[in-house]
Amino acid sequence: MHGPPVDLSFKDISHVAGALSEVPNSGLRPLKSNSERKYLSCCLRLNNNNITNLVGLHFVLPRLLVEPSKLGWLDLSFNKLTIIASVLCELKELQVLYLHGNAIWNLAETDKLGELRRLHTVTLHGNPIEAVKNYRFDLKRMDFSAVTPKEKALANFWCHCSKPVKKAKKNDESAVD
C-alpha cells in the first residue's frame, strides 16, 4: 500500500476534523480508494493550514485511510501547533514527521517522540524551539540533514547535564541518632 500521499495541504483547515470535508489535491499519481472511499496510502499531508492542535486525529485517520495504523509519513508543517501532541505517539509505524514552520517552543515536547521506534526523520526548523542550543536529537535525519555523530554526542551531553540532580533522602533511623 504505497500510494501517493493524501494531500490536504492549503485547504485552510483549522481543526483536524475539517480534513474529512475536504477533497484531496490531485497529484501526478491518482489517489486510489476502496468502496468506503478510504484512501490506499500511508502518507498524509496536512501542511500549510491553520491547525492549532491535533484533537480528533485518532478519529480522522480511520475515516481517511484504509490502514491508519500503517501511517508512515505525516506532514504537519506550516500550521500553528504549539506542542507535540501525544496522539502522535500512537502512530507506531511513523517514520517521517514534518513539524517545521509551527510554533513549538518547549524542548521537552520532543521527548514524546522517543516512543516512536521507527521514526527516523523529524523537521523542527522554523519553530521557536530552534533557538534552543543543540535541540537536534538522536535521529538519522533532522531538519532535512543528517544528524552528525558530534551532534548526537552533544545532545546526549546536554540531556545528561540538564537532568536535575536528585538529593538523597536522609534515612529516618540516622535522624534519631
The per-residue pLDDT for range 17-52, each reduced to its tens digit, is: 999 999 999 999 999 999 999 999 999 999 999 999
Name the nearest CA neighbour of 87 among 171, 17, 170, 29: 17
134: confidence class by pLDDT, cuts 50, 70, 90: low
Name the nearest CA neighbour of 101 among 86, 120, 123: 123
State how far the Cα of 38 lies from the Cα of 123, in Å rounded to an integer: 28
pTM attached to this predicted model: 0.77
The per-residue pLDDT for range 77-112, each reduced to its tens digit, is: 999 999 999 999 999 999 999 999 999 999 888 888
**Three-state secondary structure of 146-166:** ECCHHHHHHHHHHHHHHCCCC
Sequence spans of domains, the chain = 6-162
Domain spanning 6-162: which CATH class is it, in words? alpha beta
Give the DSSP letter of residue 31: -
Name the nearest CA neighbour of 45 among 14, 20, 95, 10: 10
